Amino acid sequence: MRCIINGEMIDLPAHIRTVAQLLQHFRIHEKIAIVEINANIIMKEKYEHTAIADGDRIEIVHFVGGG
């Protein structure tokens, strides 16, 4: 499946089908993140059940600590 993630066309492995799986793939599932698919913000409690489709435009914003 091909999606545009943060402005970059990315080929995702076939096993990634939900937002939760996508975040795990990029190892940001334990961080605070905001996910938007096709201009719709996805609530965190819906990550497990929100499907990703070929051609989706996905924006992921996560916060990084530091000083």
Using the predicted structure, report yes or no on whether residue 65 has a pLDDT greater than 80. Answer: no
* Cα–Cα distance for residue pair 32/53, rounded to 1 Å: 23
Candidates 55, 16, 11; CA nearest to 37 is 55
pLDDT tens-place string over residues 12-60: 999 999 999 999 999 987 788 899 999 999 999 999 999 999 999 999 9
The fold for domain 1-60 equals Ubiquitin-like (UB roll) (3.10.20)
Taking the model in full, what pTM does it have?
A: 0.88
End-to-end CA distance of the chain: 38
Band the pLDDT of 66: cuts 50, 70, 90: low
Helix, strand, coil distribution of the chain in percent, nearest 5: 15, 35, 50
Domain boundaries along the sequence of the chain: 1-60
